[in-house]
Structure 1
Amino acid sequence: MSKYLVNKFLYTVDRDHELTERYREDPAGTVAWWEAEEAGRILNCVAAEKTTWLAFTDDERQALSAHDHVALFRMGAHPFLTLTLWIAMFERDFDEPLAMQRDYAARLAHLEPPYPDIGT
């Protein structure tokens, strides 16, 4: 896994309201577009330097497209990045205060230490 690339995706999508909404509504399309158009630009790479680390793996692409924060955590994506993005995308779908955050945590509750390395 290119944890850096996945984390960069999560970070940049979370920092742009229009992109956050686009990812909420069309996750697979947003992932494909970002990977093809933005990954190299954001990381300041020229086309001649394009390597496999500028592409998501199939598992990364699937997890990002499915909004699967548990799979992303298992692969080493930083949980704070998924949490802040999920708050922006999904908190509005819950009626109770902090219900989204409790749901997020409950889906991770079955995991036990040692947790995946989240360092990049």
Structure 2
Amino acid sequence: MANTKATGDVTETRLLHELVAAGYSVSVPFGDNDPYDLVVDTGGEFVRVQCKTGWLEDGRIRFKTASKTTKNGEVTTTDYDGEIDAFMVRCRDTDAVYWVPVEDAGRKNTYLRIDDAEIDHPSINWASAFEFSGVIV
């Protein structure tokens, strides 16, 4: 990809496709000023989704869970606390798709482990537990 905006557009389009193919009605907010990229109608509620591109790093899929903006030369990092309900992630290296409820994500980064099954620790997020199967949980 040429730049991060293009990469994000590819990810958002892929994730939109996954949701529509699973039978959900999806709305896209107008403009780029909302903290969420998609709003999913589950038939009983509206779910605010932030789309993220993940990448492989040391046996894990990593994605950022904070937004970085520059205004007047000052960089500001903001988390999505209270602004979204879930992250939907496309791993750029494997093209796998994940659904991560905001309460299961970290404040700046989240890691989904894909290897080293010998590790047994309660704080490990196994990628397989978050694979998007077409059902929002």
Q: Calculate the TM-score normalised by the size of structure 2.
A: 0.26
Which structure has more relative contact order (CA 8 Å, sep 6+)? It is 1
Higher strand share: 2
Q: Calculate the TM-score normalised by the size of structure 1.
A: 0.29
Higher helix share: 1
